[in-house]
Amino acid sequence: MGQLMLKVGHFDQAEELYNELLKGASDDSDRAFIYHMLAIMKNRQGKYPEAIEFYEKSLKVYEQILSPNDPELATAYNNIGTVYDNMGEYSKALEFYEKSLKIREKALPPTHPNFGSSHLCLAACYEKMGDYTAALKALQNAYKIQEKTFQEGNQAFASTFSWYGRVYRSLKEYSKALSYFEKCLAIDRKTLPENHPNGAVAYSDIGDVHRLMGDYERAMAFHQKALNIQEKVKCNPLDCATTYMNLGETYREMNDYTTALTYYQKGLKIREEKLAETHPDLAVIYHSMSKLYFSTQKYSIAMKYVQQAVEIGQEKLFSTHPHLIEYRETFEKIRKKQ
């Protein structure tokens, strides 16, 4: 019942039910499972520190009652990695993903879907850390396993294609990125209901690549498709923030700074509400806003935003991360104008 409530987004009722079950839990195994479910719920609500707290409670029990190579333990490590990933704590996330993968390598057959999921989590983490070579290698591993496990066109491939698209976009290989995002969208449209939030993410990603290729008209059309879905259905607010951000970028590059700022502010409001103040995704939007204010010759405001981006980047990213390098270049550009 609790899992059903989670599925349909009734978090308060689910929490109430799990807390009642916790009071009546007869053994450690039951308690660990309930902590685990509470953690999943907190993660979906974006309450990441609370999610970590519940995962650690369940992990403490699992580490005592399960063998060191139990697949259940691998799932627990993987889930903790996902929360750290969501928090922008990529090194910690990587540590837990690797722990999970080590167990799965020993405990599962080489074509098990969870084995593919592990490689996909690693790929996503490496992409965010700016290590695109490692991300591609992990994606290749995930794809090889999925090819043996699933039929062509299975929903599992959509996520893999989406991450391929993101990596190639980061590498500025836009034609490849577009091809993968389109493959992802094709699967989403065949396997998911119309107006599913995943489809909106794919539309926005395609729109973003069109922007990077200088085709603003197409970019706007795809972002609008994304927004139409996101404003109709209950979606992850952070996905909406990304669409607003992408629209802001498109308008900024079209020199429509007033409209761009409106969309940046919408995206920023959501990210500031949902993310920790040092999350790398906040640095991305601060940097975009600094570029906008630079273009409108408001150098002191531009400097304020780029300083915030650099500070977060220095704390959370490796010194060689392409984003941090870009933030520093923008900082120098603005400094010379002051």
The domain boundary residue, chosen from 67, 89, 108: 108
162 found inside a domain: no
79 found inside a domain: yes
Residue 68 pLDDT > 80: yes
- Give the whole-angstrom CA distance, residue 168 versus residue 189: 22
- Give the whole-angstrom CA distance, residue 153 versus residue 151: 6
> pLDDT category, 14, cuts 50, 70, 90?
low
> Token pair of 119, please?
């490689």
Domain that holds residue 309: 275-337
The reported pLDDT for the residue numbered 29 is 77
- Give the whole-angstrom CA distance, residue 133 versus residue 138: 9
Model pLDDT for residues 257-313, shown as the tens digit of each residue: 999 999 999 999 999 999 999 999 999 999 999 999 999 999 999 999 999 999 999
Spacing of C-alpha 51 from chain mean position: 16
The reported pLDDT for the residue numbered 332 is 98
61 found inside a domain: yes
> Token pair of 149, please?
């496990």
Model pLDDT for residues 146-164, shown as the tens digit of each residue: 999 999 999 999 999 999 9
> pLDDT category, 110, cuts 50, 70, 90?
confident
- Rounded average pLDDT over 19-44: 76
Q: What is the DSSP letter of 1?
A: -
Q: What is the CA radius of gyration of the chain?
A: 21
The domain boundary residue, chosen from 108, 131, 151: 108
- Give the whole-angstrom CA distance, residue 119 versus residue 312: 27
- Give the whole-angstrom CA distance, residue 162 versus residue 181: 5
Cα separations (Å) of 192 from 95, 156, 184?
A: 33, 12, 12
Residue found by looking up tokens 């704590």 in the block: 89
Residue 247 pLDDT > 90: yes
pTM: 0.90
End-to-end CA distance of the chain: 61
Which of 177, 102, 95, 104 is CA-nearest to residue 136?
177
| Portion of the chain with pLDDT greater than 90, in percent | 78
212 found inside a domain: no
The domain boundary residue, chosen from 108, 137, 165: 108
193: left (phi over 0), alpha (psi -120 to 50) or beta: beta
| E-only strand ranges, 97-179 | none
Cα separations (Å) of 85 from 24, 92, 126, 275, 276?
A: 33, 8, 10, 12, 12
What's the CATH code of the domain at 74? 1.25.40.10
58 found inside a domain: yes
Cα separations (Å) of 326 from 101, 242, 306, 329, 334?
A: 33, 19, 10, 5, 12
User: Looking at per-residue confidence, does 30 or 138 come out higher?
Assistant: 138
The reported pLDDT for the residue numbered 18 is 67
260 found inside a domain: no
Tally the domains of the chain.
2
Residue 19 pLDDT > 80: no
91 found inside a domain: yes
- Give the whole-angstrom CA distance, residue 249 versus residue 175: 19
> Token pair of 92, please?
């910690």
Model pLDDT for residues 70-100, shown as the tens digit of each residue: 999 999 999 999 999 999 999 999 999 999 9
The reported pLDDT for the residue numbered 42 is 82
53 found inside a domain: yes
Are the beta carbons of 168 and 139 closer than 8 angstroms?
no
What sign does the dihedral 314-168-259-224 (CA atoms) show? negative
- Give the whole-angstrom CA distance, residue 174 versus residue 179: 9
Residue 13 pLDDT > 80: no
- Give the whole-angstrom CA distance, residue 104 versus residue 159: 20
